[in-house]
Structure 1
Amino acid sequence: MDSRKYLALSLCFLFLFPDLSHSNIQLPGWLGDNKMQGSVLKLKKGVSSATFDPSRVTQLSWHPRAFLYKGFLSDEECDHLINVARDKLEKSMVADNESGKSIMSEVRTSSGMFLRKYQDEVVADIEARVAAWTFLPIENGEAMQVLHYLHGEKYEPHFDYFHDKENQKLGGHRVATVLMYLSNVEKGGETVFPNAESKVSQPKDDDVSDCAKNGYAVKPKKGDALLFFSLNPDATTDTRSLHGSCPVIEGEKWSATKWIHVRSFEKPNKQEGMGGKGDCVDENENCPVWAKAGECKKNPLYMVGDDGKCRKSCKVCSS
């Protein structure tokens, strides 16, 4: 099964069944044996395993789609990620909208570093748990980034999907983001969604910062994780997913971010001898079947676009 089907599976479960806390469902395995026993989904991949409990998940918003998992990480896991990253922090960068290159900007004043995928058992278990929750394959995810915000540091509202084509070449758009809070913050540091439909109806107490009052806000709590989608169900970009990290007013903020793409992020889409310039090949064994079913016209971006996977079967190139 390719990434397109994985994405469809995740959308079906998360969009049609946001609350599975009372379900008793047997799921087909895509990373081994996935089983829903009562309210717990278990996933295994190699030596790592994960348990996902839907009863801990709350739907925060539908526009954008956002969900909060209470206690996604243990205190020990949070402390481990902080300790691994603490001595390796560098100034955070942003992607330039024109070139796609990473540049420094005053819109993002935190420091951070990227872990290696599966670099230790704790990281591997967390990555497996993210895959279990999102129903998106591990290979579609970027390496986890640990971030540190000191007093006054912030990240202005931005989108996680890309505005440039360069960053879309590997893995396509970021479809989902899992933001894990590794520490409590005394005041400030909220994740805010300025364009969320529910921003007006959300009650705000005296503890929230002025920044958090400008949208739907999520207060950092050690161990909790926030999942939100940057694309709509029809794969168009969701402008409601605009989000930012409010300035820290008291204390400090540690978090870990996992960005997940629509396709694999582990290898180039155009491999040598497989779809490179001058080649006319299919990159999926199902391409002939999909072409006969009319997918060349129904799904042209995937089938025949600049990065199309079924250009040969769709007869837009010659061998």
Structure 2
Amino acid sequence: MATAIKVVFGLLTFVTIGMIIGALFQLAFIYRLEDSSGTSLPSSRKMQQTQANSYLPLSTGISSWANDKEASLLRLGLVKPEVISWSPRIIVLHNFLSMEECDYLRAVALPRLQVSTVVDTKTGKGVRSEVRTSSGMFLHPDERKYPLIEAIEKRISVYSQVPVENGELIQVLRYERDQFYRPHHDYFSDSFNVKRGGQRVATMLMYLSDNVEGGETYFPMAGSGECSCGGKMVSGMSVKPLKGDAVLFWSMGLDGQPDPRSVHGGCEVLSGQKWSATKWMRQKAI
């Protein structure tokens, strides 16, 4: 019995140390990107919202990579990370996608949209629900081989520090006026989905459209102030959908356990259409 306890304790210690080292690597990677962009990032989300339109490519940050295909694929010098919360861990990646990439994903998805579903905790299958009123579709596995999709998936892997093979298929979503997604967790609470690839570790949410009123991504357990969500002021933190921006957040804590504070939702769209693309990442290869 004592030996078994020691083995379990050792494994837990190993996992915890691994998660901490991973987080430190992510932090170092983010700081390196900040330095390479040649500009400092805003210290608050409020400042980001007021200055979002000023995030333009800096010639000094791009010129050194002008002939580097890998740097171009990763959009180094263009993507500007902003940590907005450490608990839960949330990073806004400004200019993560190009305008052409956003338009391409929307064009591919439009003729294939269907009513969105949620995961049934008893069966692990997708079912329709009033908590989610959008329409969406998943890219086909063969489409992951397309150069543009391959580039986006590699970029997601590098910025999240999660291997490409651990990622689910990209899902493209459209929220029209009055549509929303009630607060929820991305990690699984059923035993079916974790059998293939393990638990969800992190989520990359990419915005594909502009001119949207409302439709914020809302984190009710992040921050200590108030934010706008679908035209209402609520407690927590929200991210305004801006075309090309992305939100990276972790569903698991450094202890390797699901993080309840990662609860989030899509606020009601007041006008326009909110298009987004979501990539969920697992513990193991799928």
- Classify the TM-score, shorter chain: 0.7 to 0.9
Contact 1:6 1:137 in 2 (8 A): no
Contact 1:188 1:247 in 2 (8 A): yes
Structure 2 counterparts to residues 296-311 of structure 1, below 5 A: none
Structure 2 counterparts to residues 74-85 of structure 1, below 5 A: 74-85=98-109
Matched residues in 1 for 2:112 and 2:200: separation? 25
**Deviation at 1:214?**
3.7
Task: Give the 3-state SS of the residue equivalent to 1:107 in structure 2.
Answer: coil
**Structure 2 unaligned runs (5+)?**
1-14, 37-61
Matched residues in 2 for 1:10 and 1:252: separation? 36
**Deviation at 1:142?**
0.4
**Deviation at 1:242?**
0.2
Task: Give the 3-state SS of the residue equivalent to 1:86 in structure 2.
Answer: helix
**Structure 1 unaligned runs (5+)?**
24-36, 266-319
Q: Aligned letter for 1:22?
A: D
| 1:282 matched residue in structure 2 | none
| 2:263 matched residue in structure 1 | 242
| 1:279 matched residue in structure 2 | none
Structure 2 counterparts to residues 41-52 of structure 1, below 5 A: 49-52=73-76
Q: Aligned match of 1:12 in 17, 24, 45?
A: 24
What are the superposed Cα offsets for residues 61-104 of structure 1, whole Å, 9 maximum, x if unpaired? 01100001110011111000000000000010100122211111
Q: Aligned letter for 2:96?
A: F
Contact 2:212 2:274 in 1 (8 A): no
CA change 1:116–1:190 in 2 (3 A) is same
Matched residues in 2 for 1:231 and 1:183: separation? 28
Task: Give the 3-state SS of the residue equivalent to 1:106 in structure 2.
Answer: coil
Q: Aligned match of 1:22 in 17, 35, 38?
A: 35
Task: Give the 3-state SS of the residue equivalent to 1:148 in structure 2.
Answer: strand
The alignment of Structure 1 onto Structure 2 pairs a total of residues equal to 241
Aligned: 1:61 with 2:81 = no
| 2:254 matched residue in structure 1 | 233
| 2:274 matched residue in structure 1 | 253
| 1:161 matched residue in structure 2 | 187
Q: Aligned match of 1:139 in 152, 165, 168?
A: 165
**Deviation at 1:254?**
0.3
Matched residues in 1 for 2:183 and 2:233: separation? 11
Matched residues in 1 for 2:178 and 2:266: separation? 11
Structure 2 counterparts to residues 92-107 of structure 1, below 5 A: 92-107=116-131
Matched residues in 1 for 2:64 and 2:205: separation? 23
Task: Give the 3-state SS of the residue equivalent to 1:231 in structure 2.
Answer: coil
TM-score (structure 1 length as normaliser): 0.69
Of stretches 208-217 and 60-69 in structure 1, the one that deviates more from structure 2 is 208-217
CA RMSD of superposed structures (Å): 2.9
CA change 1:76–1:6 in 2 (3 A) is farther
**Deviation at 1:195?**
1.2
Q: Aligned match of 1:222 in 243, 254, 263?
A: 243
Compare CA radii of gyration and give the structure with the larger one: 1
CA change 1:260–1:54 in 2 (3 A) is farther
| 1:110 matched residue in structure 2 | 134
| 1:177 matched residue in structure 2 | 203
Task: Give the 3-state SS of the residue equivalent to 1:213 in structure 2.
Answer: strand
| 1:316 matched residue in structure 2 | none
**Deviation at 1:131?**
0.8
Q: Percent identity?
A: 43
Q: With CA pairs under 8 Å and 6+ residues apart, which has the higher RCO, 1 or 2? A: 2
Q: In proportion to residue count, which structure has more helix?
A: 2
Task: Give the 3-state SS of the residue equivalent to 1:217 in structure 2.
Answer: strand
Contact 2:78 2:95 in 1 (8 A): no
